[in-house]
Amino acid sequence: MRILEKLPQILEESQNNYERHFKSYEVEELTLQERIHLKDHAEYKNKIVQGDNLELMKHLLKEKIKINLIYIDPPFFSKSDYKVNIKKASDKIESIPVIEQFAYKDTWKEGMADYLKMLCTRLFYMKDLLSETGSIFVHLDRHSVHYVKVLMDEIFGQDHFINEIIWSYKSGGVSKRYFARKHDTVLFYSKSENYHFECLKEKSYNRGLKPYKFKGVTEYQDENGWYTLVSMKDVWHLDMVGRTSGERVNYATQKPEALLERILLACSSEGDICVDFFGGSGTLASVASKLKRKWIICDMGKIACMIAHKRMVLKGVAYDMCAIGNTEKVESFIDFTAEVADKGKLHISLDRYGYKNDNEIPASPKYQETVKALMEEDSLKLIEYWSVDMDYDGHEFKPSWISCQESKEVVTDILLDYLAQERIAIRVLDVFGIETFVNQNIIKEVE
């Protein structure tokens, strides 16, 4: 059957999936993994959630959360799988070993219909979650945008279609067989007529770059020449996140903050809740926190969540790191020593990291030997992030110390202030995003 003929069936099945939820109300709870920088417990908790976004949507519906702005950048139906390149310096392996780690799949067993069902079901939930003045932005490209537009017209209503934004960029490959493909499309729909929208302005350079001196028109000048400020158009020329960009976090499909900034400035206000259900490396969270919005991001990938977590920790923002649903578990361990040292200090040193089962190294077969060689040299090289709660209460892990250096190795030996606490907890994330959590009574050597 042609995809065009399948669209009504996809819509119906997706709507049934969504409506079935209100019969069973089977909802997963969030598991809190780490509470970052949260001093004031009354404060709204921003969230990074690892797991399938469908579970999170059901959870948010149950909690009656209303979202002001949703931006999603789902897989595009590109029929490729995406990887993260993990590089680790080694004294024993000659060239710096690169481990290609699977990040997420964009391949679909039953092709386009399979893909559209996944997205369409979620769009029903997202519409329900939006506040009356809310908007949704769906970021796609040529592969599926035309079909998704038809589905969104049905779900949100043609009258609520606001813009088709073209994001045009320069980077990426070219072909001699077709015009260089250099744009993505962002579909913008509102929940109702009463949607929040701030008209943004952009520069429009005068012809000849000279002043027009029209009555009542304010003109400005910069290094390029004279311009006026006009309402922002729906074609946005913005650079991709390049190799040398300061915002790059080594995630294949990372989107530029400038793009998200326009969306958040136009359709949300300070204090609003902004959500990205396909959060990847955390671009929405980063922009939302800069613009004083509250945020929730979700991703199925452990590695994506770990990258987003590192990105947000370095910004000093308060949030909860959580998981939802059944997430694949790899049994790992961390051996460490924690001893009370002189002058009110606790000495913690990480000794060894590893996987409980040798066959469970979470890398693809091609890279198993590289990982084993790195681990034999120094197993702590696999640690990407670790944090310590110096006064663990047995329930909420609230680290008071975090090691999360970009591009440098993490420190593995530390001295922390010790105020007679009894129990510490340590959380480790490795380069694959695998979590290890341990807690232990403090060994008091010096009284």
Ligand X SMILES: C[S@@+](CC[C@H](N)C(=O)[O-])C[C@H]1O[C@@H](n2cnc3c(N)ncnc32)[C@H](O)[C@@H]1O
User: Contact positions toward ligand X, by CB under 6 A?
Assistant: 52-53, 73-75, 104, 251, 253-255, 278, 280-281, 283, 298-301, 304
160 vs 302 by CB, closer to ligand X: 302
Say how far apart CA 328 and CA 248 lie, in whole Å: 28
14 vs 283 by CB, closer to ligand X: 283
Using the Cα atoms of residue 284, residue 321, residue 54 and residue 114 in order, give the sign of their dihedral: positive
294 vs 302 by CB, closer to ligand X: 302
Pairing of strands 423-430, 435-441: antiparallel
Minimum CB separation of residue 26 from ligand X in Å reads: 17
Tell me the two tokens of residue 359: 């066959």
Q: How many residues does the chain have?
A: 447
Q: How many CB atoms lie within 10 A of CB 269?
A: 15
Minimum CB separation of residue 241 from ligand X in Å reads: 8
255 vs 294 by CB, closer to ligand X: 255
286 vs 370 by CB, closer to ligand X: 286
Minimum CB separation of residue 98 from ligand X in Å reads: 20
135 vs 370 by CB, closer to ligand X: 135
Say how far apart CA 291 and CA 335 lie, in whole Å: 41
Instruction: Give the C-alpha distances (Å, rounded to integers) separating 142 from 122, 139, 222.
Output: 20, 11, 36
Minimum CB separation of residue 304 from ligand X in Å reads: 4
Tell me the two tokens of residue 38: 């949260």
Minimum CB separation of residue 280 from ligand X in Å reads: 3
Tell me the two tokens of residue 412: 């593995």
Tell me the two tokens of residue 380: 């702590």
13 vs 377 by CB, closer to ligand X: 13
> Do 83 and 252 touch, CB atoms closer than 8 A?
yes
Pairing of strands 401-403, 383-389: antiparallel
> Do 191 and 160 touch, CB atoms closer than 8 A?
yes
Minimum CB separation of residue 320 from ligand X in Å reads: 17
> Do 275 and 69 touch, CB atoms closer than 8 A?
yes
Minimum CB separation of residue 341 from ligand X in Å reads: 41
Pairing of strands 46-50, 345-355: unpaired
